[in-house]
Amino acid sequence: MADDKKRRERKPPTKKVPMPEQDPNLRRRNFNEVALGYTAEQAVEEANKCLGCRNPRCVSGCPVEVPIREFINLVREEKFVEAAQKIKETNSLPAICGRVCPQETQCEESCIYGIRNEPIAVGRLERFVADYAREQGESIPKTTKRTGRKVAIIGSGPAGLTCAGDLVKLGHEVQVFEAFHKPGGVLMYGIPEFRLPKDIVEAEVEYLEKMGVQFRYNFVVGKIRTVDQLMEEDGFDAVFIGTGAGAPNFLRIEGMNLVDVFSANEILTRTNLMRGYKFPEYDTPVRVGDKVAVIGGGNVAMDAARTALRLGAAEVSIVYRRSREQMPARAEEIHHAEEEGIQFKLLINPTEVHGDDKNHVIGMSCVRMELGEPDESGRRRPIPIPKSEFVLDVDTVIVAIGNSPNPIVPESIPGLELTKWGTIVVDEETGMSSREGIFAGGDIVTGAATVISAMGAGKKAARGIHKFLTGETVEGESGSEDESKKSESEKRKKSKKSKQDK
Amino acid sequence: MPYEIKFKQVLNPTTKMMVVRAPDVAAVCRPGQFVILRVNETGERFPLTIADFDRDKGDITIVYQEVGKSTKLLGSLEIGDEILDFVGPLGKPSPTDKYYGTVVAIGGGCGSAICYPVARAFKESGNYLITINGARSMDLLLFRKQMYEISDEFYETTDDGSCGVHGFVTAVLGDLIQKGRKIDLVFAVGPVPMMKFVSKTTEPSDIKTLVSLNSIMVDGTGMCGACRVTVGGQMKFACVDGPEFDGHQVDFNELMGRLNAYWEEEAVSMGRWMKETGGTA
């Protein structure tokens, strides 16, 4: 009896220190960042809950092996700049990761404190220290080593930037080739300003530049120079391909080429990279109508929907053929979208987009779905319900059903082994492709996945490249030490897990 | 990297020619390919087909009609000024290294400038080259001398009859076909209605016809899908699958609709530009 009472008096589970956010009613009409970030007091309060586990599990959930316990300890001691430097030992882009990583399925999922409580808000702390250090002005770590080897990185997205950062720290000469006029890849053109401000992406890139990474913009590898020319004529000893999954998929239904049907990529690129939301101050127009349907249930669909709202649409709906539980988007993104008034039309599949005589969208035929037996992805397969067709009243359709690998670079490399989906086949451990000295990682290998899994692949490839160039194994990083201590089976488990994230 | 304007020439009241220093592009580009440029930090990205190139000097020639704010802005630059971004060569090159027999190259309006390097390459591959150069009126005819010099036969047409044949380019083309001339390939570039009617003219006699599309693009590398076009019932991206397609297969009506997608916004931009420049530009 006494025991029972005692148990009932156990402290209730704690929650994360809440993240200050812009009011949904205000933010749904502006492009300012939604999450405002912790104050120093909030960060210390959150960090103080960390158990500082002797065998922390959080770090094994992190694809870029951030020394989480160590940096949180430094936050506790209010050594915020040192905390950021600690993270940067293994992660070149903490301000980005702190904002866009799905921590709930990675570090925070494995958090021991999180077994009974909400886990420690690792992502929010990472963001806080990265922002703090950037605002204070951080010192650039001196790399004195010079290996004399040159590496070309193709694409400046999360995989390429991570690979570049790790390689320059190891003393290699690194040049990044970017097709666009700005760096960052999906971080710049895809993820909206209100989730990841572009000046933060530019600041992280600037940090890499100060460390010695060189960037060349407006450079389309495969068109201007082939990978073989880079290696044979331009003196690069190794190449990393991180060109991502940038080719938008469309549905195979009538009406996909109507004027008001857009890929999510187009809406997002016009808005983010080209700053179309500031039209006409910026020259690139971006236009949505009053009633917008976004087809798809992933993070890109959420981004497109919330962008459409901010561009002035009166009503924005997510149209998804499966149920809410099966949506691939992060819970937080779905929650934010709902708060802002995005409607969710679930178990609905479009069958045709209708246009008027000027090819403008005047409606979208849909069919209701029900869930049947699980399919190869393990999710219950959506099946059309007979005679359930109806027309959705919309004037704009945004297609966000995924992207395929961009074929320009892979197709320009003879002898490169590709999968039937056009992704590059690489060695799991080293990231090397079927061609010696050519490495790849990120969405160009896995198909469309997350920023952090691409960064993990960039990191792995940097190690593979270093070994390839010098014969040495990367040591000295706290993360890699942990790695070497781990059993083979643990490593296998981890690589399996990072695969599931896509 | 700055892309300096080395030469500028006003070809007619709405059309300008510029030679831009872009050695990376000039080193490898081939006829039919295009560049995407962005004039300044607030500018938009837009495609222009390469009108000529000089590999030794590292120069690219562009010819463009000032139809909106972005082309006006480009046109306001002078020799010595720099274009902020200039990326290429993009798209697939024209299949000019092949011998077909008799090739008819048709350029309409500003399209003549784009037609020129492609026509020249067909000629260099040993083809018998017939060119048809068309415009609304004589003062709008472009690249007349250049086209004349590379052609085995050279025709000109104007809508108002001020030069050459009175009528459209299709009048000359139809006439050649009707006379039973053996034509193995037609290459046409110009306004969409012109390309549409050229394709319609050659379709009954099943003459292979290539048209070069000027779709709206943002990235130009297959990423945004803005340039998608229906060809033979299939969705294609003009930037990576084109810009040249079989004219008999292209859905021109859909293309025209998509080209007008932003006309309201274009008018807003243009209005602002006229105000800023005092309406003189």
Summarised one tens digit per residue, pLDDT across range A43-68 is 999 999 999 999 999 998 898 899 99
Calculate what percentage of chain A has a pLDDT beyond 90: 74
Tokens describing residue A233: 């004529």
CB of A199 within 8 Å of any CB in chain B?
no
Identify the CA nearest to A255 among candidates A356, A354, A349. A354
Confidence of residue A502 (pLDDT cuts 50, 70, 90): very low
Q: What is the pLDDT of residue B120?
A: 95
Q: What is the pLDDT of residue A493?
A: 41
* Residue corresponding to tokens 């076009």: B229
- pLDDT digit string (tens) for B47-64? 999 999 999 999 999 999
3-state secondary structure of A97: helix
Residue in chain A closest to B240 (alpha carbons) equals: A408
* Mean pLDDT computed over A365-383: 89
Calculate what percentage of chain A has a pLDDT beyond 70: 93
Confidence of residue A10 (pLDDT cuts 50, 70, 90): confident
* Mean pLDDT computed over A318-345: 93
* Mean pLDDT computed over A196-214: 93
3-state secondary structure of B201: helix
Look up the pTM and report it: 0.90
Q: What is the pLDDT of residue B13?
A: 87
Q: Residue A155: how many CB atoms within 10 A of its CB?
A: 32
Give the N- to C-terminal CA distance of chain B in Å, as an integer.
28
d(CA A17, nearest CA chain B) in Å: 39
* Mean pLDDT computed over A473-495: 45
With CB atoms and an 8 Å threshold, state whether A283 touches B269: yes
| Residue A12 pLDDT greater than 90, yes or no | no
d(CA B142, nearest CA chain A) in Å: 29
User: Is residue A415 within 8 Å of residue A437, measured between CB atoms?
Assistant: no
| Residue A107 pLDDT greater than 50, yes or no | yes
Residue in chain B closest to A407 (alpha carbons) equals: B222
| Residue B143 pLDDT greater than 80, yes or no | yes
With CB atoms and an 8 Å threshold, state whether A283 touches B42: yes
| Residue A404 pLDDT greater than 60, yes or no | yes
Q: What is the pLDDT of residue A141?
A: 76
CB of A287 within 8 Å of any CB in chain B?
yes
* Mean pLDDT computed over B203-229: 94
With CB atoms and an 8 Å threshold, state whether B218 touches A274: yes
Q: What is the pLDDT of residue A7?
A: 59
Cα-based torsion angle of the residue sequence A252, A257, A258, A264 in order, rounded to the nearest 10 degrees: 80
| Residue B24 pLDDT greater than 80, yes or no | yes
Interchain CB contacts (distance < 8 Å): A and B:
123
Identify the CA nearest to A279 among candidates B85, B20, B70, B231. B70
B27 to chain A: which residues are within 8 Å by CB?
Answer: 224
Which residue of A218, A221, A224 is the best one to mutate when testing the B interface, meaning the one whose CB has the most B CBs within 10 A? A218
Confidence of residue B279 (pLDDT cuts 50, 70, 90): low
Q: What is the pLDDT of residue A21?
A: 92
Of A189, A281, A283, the CB nearest to B70: A283
Confidence of residue A352 (pLDDT cuts 50, 70, 90): very high
Among A157-171, A292-306, A483-497, B88-102, the range scoring the smallest mean pLDDT is A483-497
User: What distances in angstroms separate CA A384 from CA A321, A351, A352, A398, A400, one per listed residue?
Assistant: 9, 11, 14, 22, 20
Beta pairing class for A238-241 and A438-440: parallel
B235 to chain A: which residues are within 8 Å by CB?
Answer: 250, 256-257
Q: What is the pLDDT of residue A479?
A: 40
With CB atoms and an 8 Å threshold, state whether A219 touches B87: yes
Confidence of residue A474 (pLDDT cuts 50, 70, 90): confident
* Mean pLDDT computed over A300-309: 97
Helix residue ranges, H only, A151-210: 158-169, 186-189, 198-210
CA A35 – CA A38 distance, rounded (Å) = 9
Of A266, A358, A359, the CB nearest to B225: A266
Could you give all domains of chain B from N- to C-terminal order, each with its CATH number? 3-90 (2.40.30.10), 94-208 (3.40.50.80)
For residue B155, the Cα-to-chain-centroid distance in whole angstroms is 18
DSSP, res A428: T
| Residue B181 pLDDT greater than 50, yes or no | yes
Phi–psi pair at A288, nearest 5 degrees: -125, 160
Among A210-219, A235-244, A474-483, the range scoring the smallest mean pLDDT is A474-483
| Residue A495 pLDDT greater than 90, yes or no | no
If one compares B212 and A146, the residue with the highest pLDDT of the two is: B212
* Mean pLDDT computed over B117-126: 95
- pLDDT digit string (tens) for A323-334? 998 899 988 899
Length of chain B: 281
| Residue A15 pLDDT greater than 60, yes or no | yes
Mean pLDDT score of chain A, rounded to an integer?
Answer: 89
User: Is residue A178 within 8 Å of residue A216, measured between CB atoms?
Assistant: yes
| Residue A476 pLDDT greater than 90, yes or no | no
d(CA A274, nearest CA chain B) in Å: 7
| Residue B203 pLDDT greater than 60, yes or no | yes
| Residue A497 pLDDT greater than 60, yes or no | no
Q: What is the pLDDT of residue A457?
A: 93
Tokens describing residue B255: 């293309």
